[in-house]
Amino acid sequence: MANTNAKPALPKPLEPYADPLPGIETENLSGKLIVVEGPDAVGRSTQVTQLRLWLEQEGHAVLDTGMARSALAGKGIARAKDGNTFGPLTMTLYYVTDFADRLENEIVPALRAGFVVLTDRYIFSIMARAIARGEDAGWIERVCGFGLAPHAVFYLHAKVQDLVSRVVIGRGAFDYWESGMDYHFGDDMYESFVNYQTRLIRALDKMSARYGFVEIDAGQRPDAIFRELQTRIAALQIRKVDGAAAIVRKAAP
C-alpha cells in the first residue's frame, strides 16, 4: 500500500486492508459497513442521520458512528482542539487512536451482531487530512491499514466554492481546524479554508479511484442526495437480523 500511484488489490468487505489490529477477531462478521465520506461542510452528518432513521424504519439495527466519538480519545480531541494545541502529527495519531478504539469496541461488535454500521467518515478522512497537512501518504496508509474494507464508500464530492457557500450561509463563520489554520494555508480564514479544502479534496479524489468510492454529486439538493443514497444502499441487499426491530425500539429515545 506504500506505492500511492498504484491501485491496490482491495480486500473483501470486512477484511483489513493490511495487518489487523492485534487481538481483534474479524471472522464471523455478518453486518454491513457503510461509509459516507467527503470534505468538511459537505453535509455528511445530515445524510447519515437521515439514513439511520430510514434503515431503522425498515427494521434494521443500526450503529451510527463517526470521527472523534470514542470513549478513549473523543474528549481529549475536543479539549486539544479547543486550545488549538495540536501539532499535525499529534493530531493524526490522536484520530488514529480514536478510530482504533471505535473499531474494537463499537464497529466490530456491531458487525458481529449483524448491525448496519453507518460511519460519518472513516480512515480515508484521517489519511486525507494527514496528506493535506504534508504527511507522507505511504506512511499514513500503513498506519491506517488495520481498517476493515467497507461494503460501500459513498463520497459526497463537492467544489470548494460550494463548501464556502455552505459555511457562510449555514454557520456564518469558518472553523479554525476546517480552515487548516494550524498550518496557515492562507493569510486569513477564508483563504486558508479554500487552500486546505482544495488539498483535502485532491487527496480524497485520488483515493476514490484506488479504493472504489461511489461518487455522489454533493451539489444536488440534500433530498436528491438522500434518495440516491437510499437507492444505492438498497442495492446492497442488507439482510435483516432476527430481533432487529426490538433492538431498534429499545434504543429509541
61, 241 in Cβ contact below 8 A? yes
Q: Which of the residues in the chain have pLDDT under 70? A: 1-8, 84-85, 242-253
211, 10 in Cβ contact below 8 A? yes
pTM: predicted TM-score of the whole model, two decimal places: 0.90
- Give the CA angle between residues 81, 85, 88 to the nearest 5°: 90
And the C-alpha cell for 63?
450503529
All domains of the chain, ordered by start, with CATH?
32-157+213-237 (3.40.50.300)
> In whole angstroms, what is the distance from residue 58 CA to residue 245 CA?
9
pLDDT value at residue 212: 97
pLDDT value at residue 90: 87
- How far CA 129 is from CA of 113, 201, 221, 247, in Å, comes to 32, 10, 26, 35
The single-letter code of the amino acid at 123 is I
And the C-alpha cell for 221?
439538493
234, 152 in Cβ contact below 8 A? no
pLDDT value at residue 242: 67
DSSP letters spanning 50-92: HHHHHHHHTT--EEEEETT--TTTHHHHHHHHHTT---HHHHH
- How far CA 241 is from CA of 50, 246, 248, in Å, comes to 21, 10, 11
Instruction: Render pLDDT for 48-96 as a digit per residue (tens, 0 to 9).
Output: 999 999 999 999 999 999 998 999 998 888 888 887 667 788 889 999 9
Cα-flanking dihedrals φ and ψ of residue 64, to 5°?
-105, 115
- How far CA 251 is from CA of 31, 58, 61, 110, in Å, comes to 18, 15, 9, 14
pLDDT value at residue 88: 81
Cα-flanking dihedrals φ and ψ of residue 65, to 5°?
-135, 170
pLDDT value at residue 137: 96
pLDDT value at residue 152: 98
Inter-helix orientation angle 222-234/44-57, to 10°: 50
Q: How far is CA 249 from the centre of its chain?
A: 26
pLDDT value at residue 2: 47
